[in-house]
Amino acid sequence: MILMESIYYIMSAEMFSFVLENLPNEWEKDVNYNESYKLFTVNDNTEEYRTVKELFTQHAIKSIVRVQNPFQYGRFKLRQEMCETYYVDTVYCIVHTDDLSIALKYTCDYRRYNKTAYGPNLNKQPKFYNSVSSAITNNFIDLENAKVLVLYKISGNTLTQSDYYVQYVVSLSSF
């Protein structure tokens, strides 16, 4: 039993090292991940900011924060390999500000939320939308108390939490 635990630990450490060596280019390097994710404000004079802002053409942005979660990202990349699919969609999900840390820690597991953006959810997956406008229109939270999550999702039906990962948290100005 101890041998199996040792093998598992070594494999986990090797997999985590591999993920850390193959992170997205815009991610900060040399980060100590003592928690599952880290947040980094995206500077408004960068290409990264302009790229994300283009997704929100009809909305005024207060701030954009990059989410760096190598655990979630690693599971996503492994899932892509397992499914042999590399097509991804950018999707959006609204969460209440009070539930943001829960959404980021537990990969948008809406069952853990204290507040709901969409009323009773009968599905087994969070609700993702293909446009920011659809996400905003279909939620019950005023924009002052809402955050828009920008996610990459494997194209097609969502089957597991490994099918997507959160890239950015965007705060919008209310109109």
Containing 168, the helix (H) or strand (E) segment is strand 164-172
Containing 36, the helix (H) or strand (E) segment is none
For 1, the token pair is 């039993």
User: How many domains, in total, are found in the chain?
Assistant: 1
- The rounded distance, in Å, linking the Cα atoms of 78 and 123 is 24
15 lies in a domain?
no
pLDDT at 68: 96
CATH number reported for the structural domain that contains residue 48 in this entry: 3.90.228.10
Task: Say yes or no to pLDDT of 47 above 90.
Answer: yes
Rg of the chain in Å (alpha carbons): 17
Predicted structure pTM score: 0.85
17 lies in a domain?
no
pLDDT at 157: 86
19 lies in a domain?
no
pLDDT at 38: 96
What's the domain range around 57?
Answer: 25-172
The string of pLDDT tens digits covering residues 17-42 is: 777 788 899 999 888 888 889 999 99
Which of 26, 20, 22, 76 lies closest to 51 in space, CA to CA?
26
13 lies in a domain?
no
